[in-house]
Chain A
Amino acid sequence: MSIEGASLCFWLSLSLWVIGFLLSLCALVWRRERLLGTAVVFAALGLAPLTAGIVVRWVATARPPFISLYELVIASAWFAVATYLAAQAAWRAARPVAVAVLPVAFLSLGAALTLSPAANPLSAALKSWWLVVHILFALLGHGCFALAFGAALLLLVRGHDARSSALDEISSRSVVFGFICHTVMILSGSIWANNAWGRFWGWDPIETWSLVTWLLYGLYAHLRLLPRWRGRLAAAYAIAAFLVVVFSFWAVPHLWTSMHDYTFYSR
């Protein structure tokens, strides 16, 4: 299979996730638990062609396929759904979160498919295993933040019911795990930058916005310890913080010139 074949896999995943989303929506509106189970199956089914597409691209380019914005957005969709699937396997209460996580995933895929799939040559600086650690933890962190966002959104939309405290707990735990991953991402990036360029921090716009994200989730962790910062208030905050994650990931590379500019890797 070629890189073009991999794009077909991505379209297939997108379609399966749209179906999964519609099923989860129906399940929530008509309170049909079985439909929710089918939605989870579609979420898992959608992950299979995406995984195949990523592997094909990895083989075709002979490097980890997490470099260009196209590749990163696709990988972030994979991690969002994989994190959701792991969470719903651990906590049954996380199942309905599909209704918020699947749109994040298929919208990401849709956005990625509007970008150029060209596999540009890389700069010498990118040949480092710190790249793999750095990006793996970044994507894992994003997956957790997407799950936290999904649980928080569901909590806000459904209002106070029997599942509210479970959704609140899922959102909070996801933030905590995402925060740890984000910390490791920043740290591994620092070590790598120090090895490559002799500086561990350069106030590059993407570095700065990843610090903003870290500070905002650090703030969440502090606020959770205060009375009143549970339930709807914490949920609203988790949603706002996730919007900052999306802005950092999607908008910052388009708005500012950056060392992380994904098209500038042919040096």
Chain B
Amino acid sequence: MASGTLSDSRFHIPHSRFQTAIGLLCSRRFAAVLLALLAALCMIGTVVPRHILSLPFAALAALVALSASACVLTRARRLLGSRIQAAPLGSLLFHAGLVGLMVAGALSAVTREEGKFLLTEGQETTLGNIAGVRLRLDKFHAVHKGSWGTPDYASDLAVAGEGQEARKATVRVNEPLVHRGLTVYQTLHGFSVLLVLTDAQGRTKSGSWVALGTDLKSQPVRYRDGFTLPGTRLAIEAELFPDAVVEGEQLASRSPDPRNPALAVTVRDGVDAVYRGTVYLGKPVMLGNDLWLNLAGVRYWSGFDTVRDRGVGLLFASAWVAVAGLCLRFWPRRRRISDC
């Protein structure tokens, strides 16, 4: 491959359709039309379902990237041939940053991997698809009113590869964990209950942790779900009151902290309800047929999203290049504004 600068005569191409196309791509009028179209498409996109516009938007964004790239090349060529000045350099950096942003956006769209899981305190799982790496939730902390009046929810995690010492980390909403290119974000939290079903002789028929759903739409937040008790035919509808108190004839919760957990349950065997009432922690209730249901434990669960996005680094680097370019481009020249 021939080496040399872009200003070398070797790079001069005779006037051709290619040059006309480059000229058009670099023109301010063309850029203005593209920006106007992109703005119009974004406006329409807020009222029309997004999938209808995704193809024209992608095509237009590609054209903008092409136009900005052509602009970068011609500006770079011009800059190399002259003394470097702040404004043209700024313009070059800004447009290069824009191209980088679009490339990063495309890279992100193509390579992004996402996952979701939830862990009850003490549980562990494989992290993403990284072979041999396990993630365990040691403890979940909930402080409902911390500084700035915001709640503080934190998950103490332990990450370990096979035969490796566990790395401890605390994850919060704005403080994700990054492990070997995979980022773990804390999302929701709620409660898991350990329901144990025993027969009259005390033999365990079923016993496992069940994560109850968190209903954020209700105020206060409610923790409830419907599920089949593992290993049985019993269908259960349950709502947990973490800090239970009886108000009138209604069960309520004094706070979201698990100080006095109680589970309001309806247990069905087929279509027949075999029990409807409240189960307090460690106080089994008889369902009939000599079966006893015990709320043997309550723990927090914490929900996580995992993301591997190869475009993010380039995206933010390009964005800062674009900002630096903007500042250089419009660095205040000492031209005064005259009063009249």
Chain A interface (Cβ within 8 Å of chain B)? 61-64, 91-94, 119, 121-128, 130, 162-163, 165-166, 169-170, 173, 176-177, 179-180, 183-184, 187, 190-192, 194-201, 203, 205, 208-209, 211-212, 215-216, 218-219, 222-223, 225-226, 252, 256, 266-267
Contacts and interface: CB of A to CB of B under 8 A. Distances in A.
B39 A212 contact: yes
A197 B28 contact: no
B118 to A, nearest CB: 15
Interface stretch (B11-19, B142-150, B287-295): B142-150
B323 interface: yes
A169 B145 contact: no
A179 B326 contact: yes
B174 A125 contact: yes
A191 B174 CA distance: 10
Interface stretch (B130-138, B162-170, B197-205, B311-319): B311-319
Interface stretch (B43-51, B225-233, B246-254, B264-272): B43-51
B38 interface: yes
B330 interface: yes
Contacts of B330: 176-177, 180
A203 B45 contact: yes
Contacts of A127: 146-148, 150, 152, 173-174
Contact of A222 (B32, B45, B152, B183): B32
6 contacts: A61-B149, A62-B147, A212-B42, A219-B35, A219-B36, A226-B29
B140 interface: no
Interface stretch (B76-84, B234-242, B278-286, B332-340): B332-340
Nearest to A92: B339
A162 B337 CA distance: 12
Contacts of A92: 339
Nearest to A123: B150
A195 B174 contact: yes
A196 B183 CA distance: 11
Could you tell me the dominant secondary structure of chain A's interface residues? Answer: helix
Contacts of A169: 337
Contacts of B187: 197
Give the size range of B's interface with the partner.
Answer: 35 or more
Nearest to A87: B337
Interface of B: 28-29, 31-32, 35-36, 38-39, 42-43, 45-46, 50, 105, 108, 114, 145-153, 172-176, 183, 185, 187, 216, 219, 305, 307, 309, 312, 315-316, 319-320, 322-323, 326-327, 330, 336-340
Contacts of B152: 124, 127
A180 B327 contact: yes
Contacts of A62: 147-149
Contacts of A123: 150-151, 173
A124 B151 contact: yes
Contact of A163 (B42, B105, B307, B339): B339
A63 B149 contact: yes
Contacts of A94: 337
B148 A195 contact: no
Contacts of A215: 35-36, 38-39, 42
Contacts of B327: 180
A252 B45 CA distance: 13
Given A63-B150, A226-B29, A198 B176 contact: yes
A222 B337 contact: no
Nearest to B30: A222
A170 B152 CA distance: 46
B42 A166 contact: no
Contacts of B183: 198
A55 to B, nearest CB: 16
Given A180-B326, A187-B323, A211 B338 contact: no
B125 to A, nearest CB: 17
B150 A212 contact: no
A183 B323 contact: yes
Contacts of B108: 200
Contact of A197 (B35, B185, B219): B185
Give me the 8 closest cross-chain CB pairs, A-B, nearest first.
Answer: A63-B148, A215-B39, A162-B340, A198-B307, A127-B150, A219-B35, A122-B150, A124-B173
A91 B319 contact: no
B337 A166 contact: yes
Contacts of A64: 148
